[in-house]
Structure 1
Amino acid sequence: MPRTLYVLKLLLAVVALGAVAIFVEWDAIAAAAREARPGWALAALLLAPLNVGLEAYRWHRLVQRLTPSLRFRDSLAAVLSGYPLGLLTPGRVGDYVGRALYLRDVPPSASATLTFAERMATLACCLVAGLAVLPYFLLTQTDLASLAWVTVLALGLLGTAALLVLLIRPRLARVVLATVLPFRRLRRILAILDRFTPRDATELLGLSALRYALFSTQFVLLVRAFAPGADLLVAYAGVVLVFFAKSAIPAITLGDLGIRESAAVFFLGAFGIAEAAAFNASLGLFAVNLLLPALVGLPLLPRLRLQRMTSPVLQTEAVEA
């Protein structure tokens, strides 16, 4: 990413976070942090390795279809190497680069396609869960039950249904994408989807749903850390809507900082959870699930440069391009 764009994204993140913090009030944020229950936060932290491990296993299952001899530890290292780059790029697009460069036996185009499929599976989980909770939110928040929200619900249902069909039918997805984007190189890249069956796609969705439940639980645990009296079901409902909203908002800041916090303050606050607790819990989730894995993955970055210089797969792809 160009340095100017990086600085702009960083400034937007700082401004967005600052704006939300001013709205919530710094004193309230500090007070919620001082009164936090460390046990709940520790529980969320202990689930972080499981979250990364499950993400790596999901990735491993996909890539194994192309490279059966691939070891899980290599898949785990590839996923971890993508975290630092993903954290520094909008929409975590650097994650694609990190994984592609680390696994030298997998063509970068195939790696990027599978990473995109992962993202779409996670998006589907966010949409399905969010659409299930949204009617309850509209019914309990009567002042928000407007035509605009009903339209969001209807469009969301149609879009999610279409996404699920394409995910479950990889070959159909390839045909649709190749028709909408009729570029020769893209068609060649999308051909990789023909190697996956509906059963593979169902497994991908199942693992994605499991991981969605895991990081949602981490968020709820952090909410309880800063708001010990929060009802668990209410916290889950709010968290589901936070991820639903975040999935619909373009990533214009680094690490989605400010976007996730704004959604947390809005939805969790609407359910009666202190806005300061929602803000702190959201920042805590960023630290546990993005910042910490990025720090763990930092030592792997020098190897990416070596892989880029020596990988025959990458050199071949460059010639084809």
Structure 2
Amino acid sequence: MPRAPRWLFALKGVLAVVAVAVLVRLAHPANVWRAFADAEWGWALAALALVPVNVGLEAYRWGRLVRRLAPEVRHRDALRAVVGSYPLGLLTPGRVGDYVGRAVYLRAVPPGASAALTFGERMATLAACLVGGLAALGPYLRDAVAPSPLWPAVVGVGALGAGALVVAIAFPSVARAALSAVLPFEPVRRAVAAFDRIPREESVTLLALSGLRYLVFSTQFVLLVRAVDPGAALGGVALGVALVFFAKSAVPQVTLGDLGVREGAAVFFLGAYGVAPAAALDASLALFALNLVLPALAGVPFLLRLRVAAREAERVGGVAARGRVAA
């Protein structure tokens, strides 16, 4: 890995640790541990049961796009590529390892096109988070004691961003033209040309599946909050969770895996609906563990097999080269 990304990775990791440590201190370590120790594990197990649904939907969405370019790709191929790329995504800034991992694991699609389709899938998730957050902002601002004068600007920018994303996803050729204009480089143009192979009905399906996946990981968050704070009002928790994902999506990824950013937003927004800071912090960290760390651990064997295969190919190549020299 080049020196700059390595330093960036280290910096984001340090920022994530510092942010979480500060939040734990603010919520008081004893309260954080007590909320975890007293959790109602039935709710947490229900959230755990949704992990395969969440990851499966991610692979299914991306696999549908990939099959427009390579019809021979099966769902299990896409699932293997998605799960196998989780360790790389977790350990790289901006989860760029996901792009690389999927391209490496699924050779049926050119790497550039694979990255473009992954980007499109990520933008569909972002659109769902923005739309869900905008829907929750109305009740939040109505009930806020002293709403900030900056909120109208936040709502306006969020609405413009969500609208632009929905239009770009619903009309892939528009997205291709816009990206080609903003990034007028031949490799980029070749990669985003994959969008021209995505019909509009598939784009609408992508948006619908992204909305469904948004509901799945939002439900996981709500279940985890109920696990550590059983007395929390379900409606308020649901609104707070939508606002957490809105804030996380609106803020650039300044820490590794957004660790600390999501937790800070959880303490702030869920606290507005009566959730204790320690409970909000525990629920957010548990969501990170379930939806990022756990799939990454499941993807480690795929990563190890890939490294073994690469070494074997290098060994075979070296033997063949020596044979040609001897001949």
Distance in 1 (CA, whole Å) between partners of 2:12 and 2:289 is: 18
1:288 aligns with 2:290: yes
CA distance in 1, matches of 2:161, 2:194: 24
Equivalent residues in 2 for 1:158-307, closer than 5 Å: 158-305=160-307
Separation of aligned partners in 2, 1:100 and 1:303: 16
The range that moved more, 116-125 or 70-79, is: 70-79
Name the aligned partner's letter for residue 250 of structure 2. Answer: A
> How far apart are the structure 1 equivalents of 2:125 and 2:226?
24
Are residues 198 and 44 of structure 1, via their aligned partners in 2, closer, same or farther at CA, if it must alter by over 3 Å? same
Q: Using the TM superposition, give the Cα deviation of residue 184 of structure 1 relative to its aligned residue in structure 2, in angstroms.
A: 2.0
Equivalents in 1 of 2:37, 2:273: separation in Å? 23
Instruction: Give, in whole Å, the separation in 2 of the partners of 1:273 and 1:60.
Output: 38
Residues 20-70 of structure 1: per-residue CA shift (max 9 Å, x gap): 111111111111111110100011011111111111111111111111111
1:18 Cα deviation from its structure 2 partner: 0.3
| CA 226–99 in structure 1, closer or farther in 2 if over 3 Å, else same | same
Distance apart, 1:307 and its partner CA: 6.8
Query: Cα distance, 1:98 vs. partner?
Result: 0.8
Residues in 1 aligned to 2:135 and 2:246: alpha-carbon distance in whole angstroms: 10
Structure 1 counterpart of 2:82: 79
Deviation per CA, 1:212-259, whole angstroms, max 9, x where unpaired?
A: 000000000000000001111111100000000000111121121111
Q: How does 1:11-30 map to 2 (within 5 A)?
A: 11-30=14-33
- Measure the CA separation in 1 of the matches of 2:247 and 2:310: 37
C-alpha contact (below 8 Å) 1:126/1:244 kept by paired residues: yes
Find out whether 1:60 has 2:82 as its counterpart: no
In the alignment, is the contact (CA less than 8 A) between 1:101 and 1:307 conserved in 2? no
Residues in 1 aligned to 2:309 and 2:171: alpha-carbon distance in whole angstroms: 33
AA partner of residue 81 (structure 1): G
1:205: Cα distance to partner? 0.6
Q: 1:316 corresponds to which residue?
A: none
Q: Which residue does the alignment assign to 1:117?
A: 120
Question: What 5-or-longer segments of structure 2 have no aligned partner?
Answer: 314-327
Residue of structure 1 in register with 2:323 after alignment: none
Identity between Structure 1 and Structure 2 (%): 59
SS in 1 for 2:150: helix
Judged with a 3 Å threshold, the aligned counterparts in structure 2 of structure 1 residues 307 and 173 are, in CA distance, closer, same or farther, namely: farther
Q: What SS is found at the alignment partner of 1:147?
A: coil
Larger Rg: 2
- Structure 1 residues without counterparts, runs of 5 or longer: 311-321
Moved more, 67-76 or 288-297: 67-76
Deviation, 1:147, is 2.4
Q: CA-to-partner distance for each residue in 1:88-124, whole Å, 9 max, x for gaps?
A: 1122111111101000121110110000001000000
Q: Find out whether 1:42 has 2:45 as its counterpart.
A: yes
Indicate conservation of the 8 Å contact 2:130/2:158, yes or no. Answer: yes
Q: Given residue 256 of structure 1, which amino acid in structure 2 is its aligned partner? A: D
Over the aligned positions, Cα root-mean-square deviation in angstroms equals 1.6
- Tell me what 1:318 maps to: none
State the Cα distance separating 1:308 from its structure 2 match: 6.4
Task: Report the Cα distance in structure 1 between the residues aligned to 2:287 and 2:21, rounded to whole angstroms.
Answer: 18
User: Contact 2:112/2:187 (CA < 8 Å) preserved in 1?
Assistant: no
Q: Is the 8 A contact 1:170 1:196 kept in 2?
A: yes
Once residues 203 and 93 of structure 1 are traced to their aligned partners in structure 2, the CA distance between those partners, rounded to angstroms, is 25
Whether contact under 8 Å (1:102, 1:307) holds in the other structure is: no
Query: Which residue pairs with 1:129 in the alignment?
Result: 132
The reply on whether 1:91 has 2:87 as its aligned counterpart is no
Kindly state the Cα deviation for residue 191 of structure 1 after the two structures are TM-superposed: 1.0
Task: Please give the alpha-carbon distance, in whole angstroms, between the structure 1 residues aligned to 2:54 and 2:160.
Answer: 30
Distance 1:90 1:246 in 2: 15
Asked if the contact 2:247/2:265 (under 8 Å) is kept, the reply is yes
1:315 aligned partner: none
For the residue of structure 2 that corresponds to 1:182, the secondary structure is: coil
How far residue 302 of structure 1 moved from its aligned partner, in angstroms, is: 2.9
Aligned residues: 310
| Structure 1: distance between partners of 2:59 and 2:278 | 33
8 A contact 1:125–1:208 mirrored in 2: yes
Q: TM-score, normalised by structure 2?
A: 0.91
- Does 1:140 find its partner at 2:143? yes
